[in-house]
């Protein structure tokens, strides 16, 4: 366990937050949360206590009826402001009153016309990686875990949801009060809330879904198999520790495909396609219940421990439920995405190492699939070195040994050396973890579904494309892979033929559309512009939007259109996404 996290002002040798009692008033008129937070520490605090904050208005801090003096540090772009409580005088409890900024980086406030129902406003949080500090002062590091209880006061007619158990609801004249308990300790980045016009549907004994009423029926059908996915995951990784696994369907502006908030995964509405083809996304967020939420990276320099393990685990769930052919196809797609991200950084970039050094760097600014897929490939190499039976025993012991704990890369490697020495000797651990790029020797992968796409790619070189009927019969990830395996630029005629063959002008599958829009932009296919405008307006995924806008800015025909398009749509997106795309365009001179 480190004594310092480079992305936090917290001093990890000081007392740590153990529990929070939160009284939160949601003010849609001002776009603010007004919070009274009662903190319980793990031991009496003598001397200063340092917390993280960003753009917060702290009214007062008290302990035992005594006002506690505090100092605010200078604002820093990445870290925000340090809040230093000067002397708690040996107290292990204190109360803090705070109001968030209308521009809090964790929150997006949506007016009614930007929601599915169009009747009520909506607010939601996204705290990973460094944004919980914009809600309330905290030790905003994955090395500190706390339980909490919360009381949310919201306008009457709205529903509050949290990544916690709802224990009660009280109606008042103009307001409603929702009560929540989170008995399992979490790091701050997993704190989550949402308030809006929400309805709930039970799916199974431990599973359900929240959505705006117009989306509820479709969401309930799309995610109806979640109970069986939960059972499959338990068979692989052991008992589920979080009691319930519910989903909350987010507005389209949500900046991720999914966020693994415990008990309540936030998921993009773009996963609701009517064919259950995005279940790999659910497998990934569900797998986080063991790898990430239960066993957590100690700092964001160790992010691969969360995402590499979870990508390995979600492939195991997909393999168990959909078979090795589909799992192998998905593996091939993600390997190609990984190689693209490595090319974008440069093969010698330190951002292509598993263990990173991001001091002074916003983790959001260098987000990529490297920790996901390179981490998964490293773990798959270990599995293939010793066999699945042996590796599964190691995996379960890893989860048992480190449950509800945070660990560094070095902690993991010491555990690997002790528990699985034959794998540590058979695999070049140093190359995988500490060197940039990919090792020459990658684990074996096989899929006949992949082989078929490779054949079709060769057919394209000979001038042949799959018919619309043939393309419609493909697995969705075959269609994505086909688009990815095409040359970087193709002719205008071929762009039109591919658009027609794959039905891309009318598709709801944004993953396919994302690949085609970038290909078409690079190729100078200006007919794609209306589709590009619609994509930029309705897709909130920051990873995809950054890459789509990069393609627009780098193509001569679309460069003059890029900044005006962004200015038209930026208000629809989460502050995290808006800031990252704006920063990218400025760097590109747009």
Catalytic residues: 285, 372
Task: Indicate the pairing of strand 66-67 with strand 122-125.
Answer: unpaired
**In this structure, are residues 106 and 132 in contact, taking their beta carbons and an 8 Å threshold?**
yes
Rounded CA separation 481/490 (Å): 16
Q: Which of 475, 471, 466, 474 is nearest to 494 (CA)?
A: 466
- Is residue 478 classed as helix, strand or coil in its secondary structure? helix
Helices (H) and strands (E) in the chain, counts: 19, 22
**In this structure, are residues 555 and 524 in contact, taking their beta carbons and an 8 Å threshold?**
yes
Task: Indicate the pairing of strand 70-72 with strand 81-85.
Answer: antiparallel
Q: Which of 470, 478, 476 is nearest to 449 (CA)?
A: 478
**In this structure, are residues 257 and 267 in contact, taking their beta carbons and an 8 Å threshold?**
yes
**In this structure, are residues 105 and 576 in contact, taking their beta carbons and an 8 Å threshold?**
yes
Rounded CA separation 275/277 (Å): 5
Q: Any idea what DSSP says for residue 262?
A: T
Long-range contacts of 558-561 (CB under 8 A, 24+ apart): 558/521, 558/526, 558/529, 558/532, 559/590, 561/529
Token pair listed for 547: 């890459």
Peptide bond before residue 245 is cis, with ω within 30 degrees of 0: no
**In this structure, are residues 96 and 57 in contact, taking their beta carbons and an 8 Å threshold?**
no
Mapped to the 3 state alphabet, what secondary structure does 284-345 carry? HHHHCCCECCCEEECCHHHHHHHHHHHHHHHHHHHHHHHCHHHHHHHHHHHHHHHHHHHHHH
**In this structure, are residues 531 and 505 in contact, taking their beta carbons and an 8 Å threshold?**
yes
**In this structure, are residues 348 and 369 in contact, taking their beta carbons and an 8 Å threshold?**
no
Rounded CA separation 554/121 (Å): 37
**In this structure, are residues 559 and 553 in contact, taking their beta carbons and an 8 Å threshold?**
yes
Mapped to the 3 state alphabet, what secondary structure does 60-116 carry? EEEECCEECCEEECCCECCCEEEEEECCCCCCCEEEEEEECCCCCCCEEEECHHHCC
């Amino acid at each position: 366990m480190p004594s310092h996290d480079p992305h936090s002002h917290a001093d990890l040798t000081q007392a740590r937050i153990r529990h929070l009692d939160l009284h939160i008033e949601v003010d849609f008129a001002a776009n603010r949360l007004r919070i009274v937070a009662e903190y319980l520490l793990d031991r009496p605090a003598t001397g200063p206590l340092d917390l993280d904050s960003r753009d917060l208005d702290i009214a007062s801090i008290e302990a035992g009826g005594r006002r506690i003096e505090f100092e605010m540090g200078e604002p820093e772009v990445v870290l925000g402001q340090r809040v230093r409580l000067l002397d708690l005088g040996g107290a292990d409890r204190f109360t803090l009153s705070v109001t968030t900024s209308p521009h809090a980086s964790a929150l997006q406030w949506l007016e009614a016309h930007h929601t599915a129902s169009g009747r009520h406003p909506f607010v939601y949080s996204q705290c990973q990686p460094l944004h919980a500090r914009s809600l309330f002062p905290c030790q905003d590091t994955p090395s500190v875990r706390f339980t909490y209880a919360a009381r949310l006061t919201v306008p009457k007619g709205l529903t509050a949801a949290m990544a916690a158990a709802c224990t009660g609801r009280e109606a008042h004249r103009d307001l409603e009060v929702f009560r929540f308990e989170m008995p399992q300790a979490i790091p701050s980045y997993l704190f989550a809330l949402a308030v809006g016009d929400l309805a709930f549907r039970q799916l199974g004994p431990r599973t359900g879904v929240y959505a705006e009423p117009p989306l509820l029926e479709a969401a309930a059908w799309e995610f109806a198999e979640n109970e069986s996915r939960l059972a499959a995951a338990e068979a692989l990784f052991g008992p589920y520790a979080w009691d319930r696994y519910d989903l909350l369907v987010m507005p389209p502006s949500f900046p991720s495909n999914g966020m693994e908030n415990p008990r309540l995964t936030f998921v993009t509405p773009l996963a609701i396609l009517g064919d259950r083809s995005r279940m790999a996304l659910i497998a990934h967020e569900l797998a986080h219940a063991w790898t990430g939420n239960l066993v957590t990276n100690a700092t964001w320099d160790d992010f691969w421990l969360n995402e590499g393990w979870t990508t390995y685990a979600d492939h195991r769930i997909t393999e168990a439920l959909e078979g090795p052919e589909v799992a192998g196809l998905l593996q091939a797609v993600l390997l190609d995405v990984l190689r693209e991200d490595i090319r974008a950084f440069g093969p010698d970039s330190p951002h292509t190492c598993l263990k990173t050094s991001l001091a002074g760097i916003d983790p959001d600014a260098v987000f990529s699939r490297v920790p996901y897929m390179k981490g998964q490939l490293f773990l798959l190499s270990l599995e293939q070195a010793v066999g699945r039976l042996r590796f599964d025993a190691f995996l379960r012991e890893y989860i048992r040994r480190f449950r509800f704990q945070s660990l560094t890369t070095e902690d993991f490697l010491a555990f690997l050396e002790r528990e699985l020495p034959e794998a540590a000797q058979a695999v070049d651990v140093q190359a995988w973890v500490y060197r940039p790029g990919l090792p020459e020797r990658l684990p074996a992968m096989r899929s006949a579904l992949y082989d078929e796409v490779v054949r079709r790619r060769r057919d394209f070189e000979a001038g042949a494309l799959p018919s619309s009927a043939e393309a419609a019969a493909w697995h969705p990830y075959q269609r994505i892979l086909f688009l990815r395996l095409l040359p970087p630029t193709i002719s205008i005629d071929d762009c039109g033929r591919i658009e027609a063959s794959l039905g891309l002008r009318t598709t709801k599958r944004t993953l396919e559309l994302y690949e085609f829009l970038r290909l078409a932009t690079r190729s100078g296919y200006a007919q794609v512009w209306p589709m590009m405008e619609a994509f930029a307006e309705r897709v909130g995924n920051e990873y995809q939007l950054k890459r789509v806008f990069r393609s627009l800015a780098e193509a001569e025909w679309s460069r003059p259109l890029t900044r005006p398009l962004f200015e038209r749509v930026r208000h629809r997106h989460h502050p995290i996404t808006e800031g990252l795309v704006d920063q990218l365009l400025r760097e590109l001179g747009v």
